[in-house]
């Protein structure tokens, strides 16, 4: 019996040694196994923040009094509001909302200070982008708390006495783009972008990695077609499939989940082209670096994870630290989600601001990188 157990343990040990040696020999796989979980813990620890502060805020001050200046300073002191502009142009504020330059606008009415002195409890308008309610919820709550304390010294100086149940002034909150706080308005566009990114990346990544394993890529290498011609021919079917997926995805969003599309559907399909190409060529770039399908999928996590975490889909974008926001601004999904929400909720019919250009720049870089890497892989195999 002891001899039998001994031989069983020896066979197990032999298999164990073989697996360990094979794993250590495959350094990229070993690196991915160790590095990716550590990276996930690090990123989640820093990025998760459900209490965004320093939200870009525009002030429209029609009163321009000592009271209004004190209110503006009080808002800044809460650290929830980062005052980016102070003026009297409400139309300009609306443009800044549309262009994603601000999250909050505060409109102080004329006669604000005189109404306070006359105990009329004036109302200050607070407009907030509530497509993702979590982004501005705590800032709104902070503003309401501030209304009870911000003029304490001024009230004492003028000897103003109010009843306990009455406030000096109050904020009137106007939610923009998602006034009913419907969660699908935030989750469905974001989920659509993430699902499309995953599908487009994996389509090319698995197909090219499988061709490398099967040796069918050798036929293309021996043909007269150039690398650009080969890649163009390979990408066209995936491009058609990607547009089919986009049509299905946003059809479900509109007809099933009742997410509105107030802007141009044509613009949606035009803007989707560079986004599709960025993910398809990212898949090509990763697959040409990997030796097999397993490695390709592991390397894909290094692309998918930042897109998922830093795009603002999972966590409020403005709640992340600045370095994470900078990374997010370099990724196509971040800008694609902003454009999607602009088309759906803000009525975009034409888009020329930086989100479009950022996607196009990323697409150009990744296409060039994929072509260079593909040519290198051809040269290495000869």
Question: Does any domain span residue 294?
Answer: yes
Q: Same domain for 262 and 365?
A: yes
Task: Give the position of tokens 């989940």.
Answer: 257
Average confidence (pLDDT) over 158-185: 79
The pLDDT value given to residue 300: 86
Average confidence (pLDDT) over 302-316: 85
Q: What is the CATH number of the domain that holds 114?
A: 3.40.1710.10
Q: Same domain for 210 and 78?
A: no
Beta strands at 123-129 and 170-176: parallel, antiparallel or unpaired: parallel
Q: Same domain for 64 and 153?
A: yes
Q: Same domain for 108 and 220?
A: no
More confident residue, 28 or 63: 63
Q: Specify the number of domains making up the chain.
A: 2
CA distances, 228 to each of 200, 201, 211, 235, 336 (Å): 19, 19, 18, 10, 26
Q: Same domain for 248 and 113?
A: no
Question: Does any domain span residue 41?
Answer: no
- In tens, the pLDDT along 280-301 reads 999 988 888 877 777 788 788 8
The pLDDT value given to residue 32: 64
Average confidence (pLDDT) over 19-28: 70
Q: Same domain for 152 and 197?
A: no
CA geometry: angle 342, 60, 134, nearest 5 deg = 45
* β-strand partners of 176: 129
Taking the C-alpha atoms of residue 163 and residue 119, their distance in angstroms, rounded to an integer, is 10
Question: Does any domain span residue 6?
Answer: no
Neighbours of 159 (CB within 10 A): 6
Question: Does any domain span residue 12?
Answer: no
Q: Which of 141, 176, 211 is the last residue of a domain?
A: 176
Q: Same domain for 225 and 365?
A: yes
Q: Same domain for 304 and 333?
A: yes
Q: Same domain for 166 and 203?
A: no
Q: Same domain for 122 and 238?
A: no
Question: Does any domain span residue 40?
Answer: no
Question: Does any domain span residue 254?
Answer: yes
Instruction: Select, from the ranges 25-34, 193-202, 221-230, the one with the highest average predicted confidence (pLDDT).
Output: 193-202
Q: Same domain for 132 and 200?
A: no
Q: Same domain for 166 and 214?
A: no
Comparing 94-98, 274-278, 320-324, the range with the smallest average pLDDT is 320-324
Q: Which of 176, 206, 236 is the last residue of a domain?
A: 176
Range of the domain at 96: 55-176
pTM for the predicted model, two decimal places: 0.83
Question: Does any domain span residue 345?
Answer: yes
309: burial class by Cβ within 10 Å (0-12, 13-18, 19+)? buried
Question: Does any domain span residue 170?
Answer: yes
The pLDDT value given to residue 335: 93
Percentage of the chain modeled with pLDDT above 70: 85
Would you state the structure tokens that stand for residue 351, as one six-digit string?
């888009």
Q: Which of 115, 150, 176 is the last residue of a domain?
A: 176
Would you state the structure tokens that stand for residue 46, as one six-digit string?
């820093």
Average confidence (pLDDT) over 52-72: 94
Comparing 30-34, 79-83, 274-278, 296-300, the range with the smallest average pLDDT is 30-34
């Amino acid at each position: 019996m002891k001899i039998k157990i001994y031989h069983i343990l020896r066979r197990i040990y032999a298999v164990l040694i073989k697996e360990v040696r094979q794993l250590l020999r495959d350094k990229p796989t070993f690196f991915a196994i160790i590095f990716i979980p550590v990276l996930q813990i690090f990123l989640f620890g820093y990025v998760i923040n459900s209490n965004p502060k320093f939200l870009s805020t525009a002030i429209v001050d029609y009163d321009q009094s000592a009271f209004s200046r004190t209110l503006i300073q009080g808002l800044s002191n809460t650290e929830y509001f980062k005052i980016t502009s102070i003026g009297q142009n409400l139309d300009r504020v609306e443009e800044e909302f549309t262009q994603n330059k601000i999250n909050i606008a505060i409109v102080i009415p004329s006669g604000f200070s005189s109404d306070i002195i006359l105990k009329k409890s004036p109302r200050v308008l607070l407009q907030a982008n509530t497509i993702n309610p979590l982004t501005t919820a705590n800032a709104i709550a902070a503003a309401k708390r501030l209304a009870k304390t911000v003029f304490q010294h001024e009230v004492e100086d003028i000897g103003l006495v109010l009843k306990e149940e009455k406030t000096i002034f109050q904020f009137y909150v106007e939610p923009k783009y998602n006034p009913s706080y419907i969660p699908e308005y935030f989750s469905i566009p974001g989920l659509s972008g993430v699902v499309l990114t995953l599908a487009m990346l994996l389509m090319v990544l698995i197909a090219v990695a499988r061709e490398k394993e099967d040796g069918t890529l050798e036929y293309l290498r021996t043909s007269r077609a150039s690398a650009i011609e080969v890649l163009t021919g390979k990408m066209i079917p995936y491009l058609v499939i990607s547009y089919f997926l986009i049509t299905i995805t946003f059809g479900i969003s509109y007809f099933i989940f009742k997410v509105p599309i107030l802007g141009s559907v044509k613009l949606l399909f035009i803007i989707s082209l560079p986004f599709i190409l960025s993910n398809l060529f990212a898949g090509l770039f990763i697959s040409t670096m990997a030796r097999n399908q397993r490695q390709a999928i592991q390397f894909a996590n290094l692309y998918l994870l930042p897109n998922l975490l830093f795009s603002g889909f999972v966590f409020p974008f403005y709640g992340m630290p600045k370095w994470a926001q900078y990374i997010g601004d370099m990724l196509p999904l971040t800008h694609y989600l902003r454009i999607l929400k602009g088309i759906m909720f803000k009525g975009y019919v034409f888009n020329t601001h930086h989100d479009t250009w950022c996607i196009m720049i990323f697409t150009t870089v990744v296409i060039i990188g994929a072509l260079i890497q593909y040519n290198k892989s051809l040269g290495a195999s000869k």
